Amino acid sequence: MRTAKIERKTNETQIVVEVNLDGTGSYDISTGIGFLDHMVEQLSRHSLIDINMSVQGDLHIDQHHTVEDSAIALGEALSQALGGREGITRYGAAVTPMDETCTRVAIDLSNRPYLVWKVDMTQKRMGEMDSELFKEWFYALAQSLGATLHVECLYGANNHHIIEASYKGLARSLRQAVEIDPRKEGAVPSTKGTLGGTL
């Protein structure tokens, strides 16, 4: 079982995250931010990665620390569960339609973190969540997971649909990337023999 548990404690947040890469998409998410809970639940359900996440953050100040640190902890848990990343498919991509919106997400579990974010929003808040924090969440996840991550809204009008399609696209691409390739089980998916470092 490819599982991991991360506990992250700072003066700003206290977080516990557990993941199972070979799960069924079950989840128990509590961040204190309802819309973020909903998005991480979508990530779990559509990636089939089990995610349990409990976050106590300094929401009396603002949401930034809670959003960023929860993504850092989740990325660390996913990376730990991947181990040496032997045998994984490594790449994943998804084009996700949601009503009038269509979003494209591609991921490479390369151990070379990078985010390309081409998502424009017109609302300052989604529910009670600051819209500018979605990019921060995806950036923090890419950094701590060690993923090259491209997220692009091809077109769309409804901000809820735009963000939800982004999370669902991440889920579907991540589901592909973490799967064990039966033709290369046990082999690192790189001609270098290791992931990370220089191209």
**Nearest-angstrom CA–CA distance, 9 and 73:** 10
The reported pLDDT for the residue numbered 186 is 74
Q: Look over the chain and give the mean of its residue pLDDT values, rounded to a whole number.
A: 94
Mean pLDDT of 123-137: 95
- 183: pLDDT confidence band, cut at 50, 70 and 90? confident
pLDDT tens sequence across 111-129: 999 999 999 999 999 989 9
Q: Answer yes or no: is pLDDT of 199 > 50.
A: no
The reported pLDDT for the residue numbered 19 is 98
Taken in order of first residue, the domains within the chain and their CATH numbers are: 3-178 (3.30.230.40)
Amino acid at 18: E
Mean pLDDT of 158-183: 96
pLDDT tens sequence across 80-97: 999 999 999 999 999 999
The reported pLDDT for the residue numbered 99 is 98
pLDDT tens sequence across 3-50: 999 999 999 999 999 999 999 999 999 999 999 999 999 999 999 999
- Strand (E) or helix (H) holding 142: helix 133-145
**Nearest-angstrom CA–CA distance, 135 and 11:** 23
Q: Answer yes or no: is pLDDT of 174 > 50.
A: yes
CB 124 within 8 A of CB 137: no
Helices and strands (H, E) in the chain, number of each type:
4, 10
Q: Answer yes or no: is pLDDT of 58 > 60.
A: yes
